[in-house]
Amino acid sequence: GAGVSQSPSNKVTEKGKDVELRCDPISGHTALYWYRQSLGQGLEFLIYFQGNSAPDKSGLPSDRFSAERTGGSVSTLTIQRTQQEDSAVYLCASSVLAGGAKTQYFGPGTRLLVL
Amino acid sequence: EDKVVQSPLSLVVHEGDTVTLNCSYEVTNFRSLLWYKQEKKAPTFLFMLTSSGIEKKSGRLSSILDKKELSSILNITATQTGDSAIYLCVVELNSGYSTLTFGKGTMLLVSP
């Protein structure tokens, strides 16, 4: 099972609740990326990790969004006090190295619906 | 602001037709252009283009980059219903790590 995995596949939550989305990258991939795809929008970059550090958090839409990565592997994206506009598909991708032209491999995504 | 524009936004063709999808870009610090196919949720990698004028081919799909015109096309010949998907054009920036700027995609529907 060598691909990027994400959980849960689908999440329905009530406005104001916190949610955690998980990403398991491909083993050995040092770079990890989070994206968001809202209905009718293109993919939007959220945050990038190299190892456990996040040199670029510029895409996080608000301070309600945070992410961490531990052990250079699993990453968690947390959305606090969810709003309806947070409803989207959240995609995670990993690549072998951060620099150079390296293909990003995407996970299946988590579809988040905030009621 | 970096941007990637794809056209058409959507397209309906009959099985067996040939289609051409377009992508143009305006970015600083271009490194490569990638095409992904997105069915359901996860985009799957198709091509990476770095050099102008060199066609990349995989079965019925082919793609070419024109750095002078800042554009790329993706061709699909003898389309099949399984080609129905969103095709994403993505530009990778030379930022020290792999920064991707995505187009909004072309939704292709191949009818039997």
Chain segment B60-78, per-residue pLDDT in tens = 999 999 999 999 999 999 9
Q: What is the pLDDT of residues B88-111, one digit of tens each?
A: 999 988 765 557 788 889 999 999
The one-letter amino acid code at B35 reads: W
The one-letter amino acid code at B80 reads: Q
Element (H, E) at A22: strand A19-24
Contact state of B97 with A56 under an 8 Å Cβ cutoff? yes
DSSP 8-state assignment for residue A25: P
Four-CA torsion B90, B78, B64, B44, nearest 10 degrees: 30
CA distance B2 to A29: 27
- Name which of A55, A102, A106 is nearest B98 (Cβ-Cβ): A102
Kindly list the residues of chain B whose beta carbon comes within 8 Å of any beta carbon in chain A. Answer: 4, 31-32, 34, 36, 40-45, 48, 50, 88, 90, 92, 96-105
Contact state of B92 with A50 under an 8 Å Cβ cutoff? no
Q: Is the pLDDT of residue B5 over 80?
A: yes
- Residue B45: its pLDDT value, please? 84
A101 falls in which pLDDT band (50, 70, 90)? very low
B38 falls in which pLDDT band (50, 70, 90)? confident
A40 falls in which pLDDT band (50, 70, 90)? low
Higher pLDDT among residues B26 and A97, named by residue: B26
CA distance A102 to A95: 6
Outline where B15-102 has alpha helix (H).
none
Q: Which tokens belong to B32?
A: 């490569």
User: Do the bridges between strand A53-56 and strand B106-111 make them parallel or antiparallel, or are there none, so unpaired?
Assistant: unpaired
